Amino acid sequence: MSAPTFLGLPTAPRGVGHLRGDEPFPVAARRALADTQLRRNLGKATRTIRAKRAAVVGELPDWEELRDAGQAIKAGAMAHLDRYLEQLEEQVTARGGVVHWARDANDANRIVVGLVRATGATEAVKVKSIVTDEIGLNDALAAAGITAHETDLAELIVQLGHDRPSHILVPAIHRNRAEIRDIFLREMGDVDPGLTDSPAALAEAARLHLRRQFLSAKVGISGANFAIAETGTLCVVESEGNGRMCLTLPDTLITVMGIEKILPSWDDLGVFMQLLPRSSTGERMNPYTSMWTGVTPGDGPQQFHLVLLDNGRTAALADRTGRQALHCIRCSACLNVCPVYERVGGHAYGSVYPGPIGAVLSPMLTGVEDNASLPYASSLCGACYDACPVKIDIPSLLVHLRARHVDEVAETRRVPSPEAVTMAAASWVMASPARYEAAQRGGRAGRLLGRGGRIRRLPPPLSAWTSARDAPAPPAQTFRQWWRTEHGDTGHGDTGHGHGEHGETR
Amino acid sequence: MRIALFVTCLADTLFPETGRATVRLLERLGHQVEFPAAQTCCGQMHVNTGYLRDALPLVRHYVEVFEDCEAIVVPSGSCTGSIRHQHAMVARRYGDEALARRAEAVAGRTYELSELLVDVLGVEDVGAYYPHRVTYHPTCHSLRLLRAGDRPLRLLRHVAGIDLVELPDADTCCGFGGTFAVKNADTSTAMLADKMRSVLDTQAEVCTAGDSSCLMHIGGGLSRLRAGTRTVHLAEILASQPQTSQPGPPEPHPPGPHTAGQAGAR
């Protein structure tokens, strides 16, 4: 198989939504790393969730088989995505829902704004949803004079704090309870001024604040965790019950869903209901699972609209290696185990999808050139792959996207980058034993830089290394020189066959 | 058994004692070690930085140099991981299915040192003597790419005189990640700081691992801090004998030939 062909399918458009950062990852990370409160909050939170997840995953004897099943179901769904989407549309329509197809964020925002306007409402309550944040729906609604109220506790904290989400599951993970109390006191007009920072008091304040909105809202807006093609059923998985309020109380429900959320059959859901809660909150089962199919007269919303969003997903699907990023079920297990995420937090990634999966998914949706620093925001330690409930090989995808980036840069630049020149030169040197050994001899000039066997300062770009680490000075003798001294010089050549009859044995 | 050593470009150039110790250890166990002189580099840095096309000649070179060997030992978890999990992928990406198959065959006979000792040679007590307080960092690629598991620890537990102490949060990355340490130096440094804190909490005099690159990273940080803990490759501990093992110096010195006890200092 040759390199994946880029078919030129549309990626997520610029200027709308939240898939692109304002600055490259290393710059944003540098600032985040200096925030000691953030480091403390993230370290504490991720450590807690990691331990909970490990405990509930460890008690399942068939966890690996479940992961295999999850992976297989997702791969099957992606392979026949066109068919399943049309089936979903058919089923939703037959049960009284209306399906809308949105090519990108602008399309989806226009559709949702139009639907809310048609109800005459100027307010909407929202279920926690990353996809509506991906497309910047709240901004689009605000521009149309419609106020969107976030009702998930963490999303509410983010919204009231004029902040950005920093975690897929726990958008306010970067805040501690003292900071949350300050935000509530400052922004929640109706709050008790004697509010303490006890979790119960904070939850009660949010409950009172939100209850009024649930009871008055005419429009609810949600995302979806799963959509079942064979029945047209939508599913939202949550912890607080606030989502269910939004899904059941308003007269109109608008669900925005990325097209990759589809599952072929009802049976498939059983696999994911075992995988998702354990991987995300570290619970055997989440407290609230809401499922609805079209419209039921006299019960729940009487208008149901489903907006199917592409926004770069078809472009991702066209990348045969990269497409497995679309298998993601947004559990956030990879964030919680990632040593990079744990230290820099979600904002440094500049996208609503942070962490290891975000470093893959965001560039896939926007095109690598718009998120070029993200595939490098990983040490490739592999903890994410081990934690992923659908076995997305994130480290391999990161390498794949680095290769895509390198190839794209090589195609567009008239003069190769200094890095590309260095890599090409290193390849040329390393492909030949003679050149390699000559380079080793040259490198031994580095001994002049060293004192006591270590080098304290190297020139750029290696100065980034010696900013915090000593570098080893080259030894008096390389290994191969030692071997030759001990075993005699049998020579080498560029033929590439140093072994066999010509090889040395002792 | 005839065992070919792929010493890795890093150990060859900067940490030759790792290679020498590997040779001493395997010979002491009664095996023949050969060093195919044409060997260079596995290409891991190129692959992991995205330069897969530039890695292709290195994949081909590795296959050509080692494909006649019955067993190949590599004193590096990450280079073994690259050979096993990336070489064929690189070949296939550029349409060379024949090379991919040859690469898979060679990779099947390529073993990281602890794998070779425990799985192929069936030995856990290698007769080593190392009277030091030691903590073991498992390294990400040994742990998660190779699934080396507790093989290195089983080998270390049999070393006479060793005071082996568990490393807290051992499975967390040290922050090296190849060019990651340069491209994302600040994040890498933050990860390194936490790893060093774990190492120093053990009060070990030696931090060991099966990979010179991670040791270069951790050791470079410890050396900069004058922390009083040094890094020593697993091969050097397993190769140590009563007559060669002496207390190491607190500060790094360039390793010279035939100074096994000291040579681990980076």
Same domain, A310 and A434: no
The answer as to whether B127 is a domain residue is: no
Q: What is the pLDDT of residues A320-330, one digit of tens each?
A: 999 999 999 99
Same domain, B70 and B146: no
C-beta separation of A402 from B50 below 8 A: yes
The B residues from 207 to 226 touching A (CB cutoff 8 Å) are 216-217, 219-221, 223-224
Best CA proximity match to A170, nearest among A186, A152, A195: A152
pLDDT at residue A7, rounded to an integer: 54
Mean pLDDT of A168-172: 92
Decide which of A289, A314, A339 is a domain's last residue.
Answer: A314
The answer as to whether B242 is a domain residue is: yes
Same domain, B158 and B98: no
Q: What is the number of structural domains in chain B?
A: 2
Same domain, A293 and A432: no
Average model confidence (pLDDT) for chain B? 93
The domain of B112 spans 2-120
Same domain, A110 and A248: yes
The answer as to whether B246 is a domain residue is: yes
pLDDT at residue B32, rounded to an integer: 97
Taking CA–CA distances from A470, the nearest residue in chain B reads: B220
pLDDT band at B244 (very low <50, low <70, confident <90, very high): low
Closest CA of chain A from B133, distance in Å:
23
Tokens 């504490």 correspond to A44
The answer as to whether B128 is a domain residue is: no
Average model confidence (pLDDT) for chain A? 93
Same domain, B213 and B258: yes
The domain of A163 spans 25-314
The answer as to whether A135 is a domain residue is: yes
Contact A468 B189 (CB under 8 A): yes
Decide which of B61, B96, B120 is a domain's last residue.
Answer: B120
Contact A3 B175 (CB under 8 A): no
A341, A373, A427: best to mutate for the B interface, most B CBs within 10 A? A427
pLDDT band at B191 (very low <50, low <70, confident <90, very high): very high
Return the minimum-mean-pLDDT range out of A60-74, A264-278, A404-418.
A404-418
Closest CA of chain A from B77, distance in Å:
12
* pLDDT value at A501 more than 80: no
pLDDT at residue A491, rounded to an integer: 45
Decide which of A273, A294, A314 is a domain's last residue.
Answer: A314
Contact A430 B190 (CB under 8 A): no
* pLDDT value at A177 more than 80: yes
Tokens 């093992």 correspond to B245
Same domain, B137 and B253: yes
Return the minimum-mean-pLDDT range out of A304-308, A405-409, B133-137, B245-249.
B245-249
Q: What is the pLDDT of residues A282-301, one digit of tens each?
A: 999 999 999 999 999 999 99
The answer as to whether B216 is a domain residue is: yes
Three-state SS sequence of B208-262: EECEHHHHHHHHHHHHHCCCCCEEEEHHHHHHCCCCCCCCCCCCCCCCCCCCHHH
How far apart, in whole angstroms, are the C-alpha atoms of residue B126 and residue A133?
A: 58
Same domain, B85 and B177: no
Q: What is the pLDDT of residues B68-113, one digit of tens each?
A: 999 999 999 999 999 999 999 999 999 999 999 999 999 999 999 9
- Could you give the C-alpha distances from B72 to B36, B80, B138, in angstroms and in order? 10, 10, 21
Q: What is the number of structural domains in chain A?
A: 2
- Could you give the C-alpha distances from A47 to A51, A339, B143, B157, in angstroms and in order? 6, 11, 20, 29
C-beta separation of A397 from A321 below 8 A: yes
The B residues from 140 to 199 touching A (CB cutoff 8 Å) are 140-141, 143-145, 171-173, 175-192, 194
Residue A150, Ramachandran bin (φ over 0: left; ψ between -120 and 50: alpha; else beta): beta
Mapping DSSP to helix (H, G, I), strand (E, B) and coil, where does residue B164 land? strand
Same domain, B109 and B157: no
Phi and psi for A434 in degrees, rounded to 5? Answer: -65, -45
pLDDT at residue B34, rounded to an integer: 97
pLDDT band at A488 (very low <50, low <70, confident <90, very high): confident
C-beta separation of A108 from A140 below 8 A: no
Q: Is the pTM of this model over 0.90?
A: yes
The answer as to whether A253 is a domain residue is: yes
Contact B37 A497 (CB under 8 A): no
pLDDT at residue A443, rounded to an integer: 86
Same domain, A292 and A422: no
Decide which of B120, B153, B175 is a domain's last residue.
Answer: B120
Decide which of A314, A338, A361 is a domain's last residue.
Answer: A314
pLDDT at residue A446, rounded to an integer: 81
The CA-based angle B201-B206-B211, given to 5 degrees, is 105
Decide which of B95, B120, B145 is a domain's last residue.
Answer: B120
Same domain, B15 and B116: yes
The answer as to whether A235 is a domain residue is: yes
Same domain, B88 and B145: no
Q: Is A267 exposed, middle or buried (0-12, 13-18, 19+ CB in 10 A)?
A: exposed
pLDDT at residue A190, rounded to an integer: 81
The answer as to whether A173 is a domain residue is: yes
Chain A residues within an 8 Å CB radius of B68: 499-500
Nearest to A499 among B45, B65, B141 (CB): B65
Same domain, B27 and B102: yes
Same domain, B181 and B251: yes
pLDDT at residue B113, rounded to an integer: 98
The answer as to whether A410 is a domain residue is: no
The answer as to whether B240 is a domain residue is: yes
Same domain, A123 and A256: yes
Domain of A95: which CATH number?
3.40.50.10420
Same domain, B75 and B163: no
pLDDT at residue A5, rounded to an integer: 52
The answer as to whether B20 is a domain residue is: yes
Whether complex ipTM tops 0.95:
no
Q: What is the pLDDT of residues A398-430, one digit of tens each?
A: 999 999 999 999 999 889 999 999 999 999 999
The answer as to whether B109 is a domain residue is: yes
Residue with the larger pLDDT of the pair A441 and B264: A441
Element (H, E) at A289: strand A288-293
Domain of B224: which CATH number?
3.40.50
Contact B96/A at CB under 8 A: no
The answer as to whether A118 is a domain residue is: yes
Mean pLDDT of A363-367: 97
Closest CA of chain B from A290, distance in Å:
37
Contact B21/A at CB under 8 A: no
Chain B residues within an 8 Å CB radius of A424: 51, 54
Contact B256 A475 (CB under 8 A): yes
Element (H, E) at A280: helix A266-280
Residue with the larger pLDDT of the pair B95 and A6: B95
The answer as to whether A213 is a domain residue is: yes
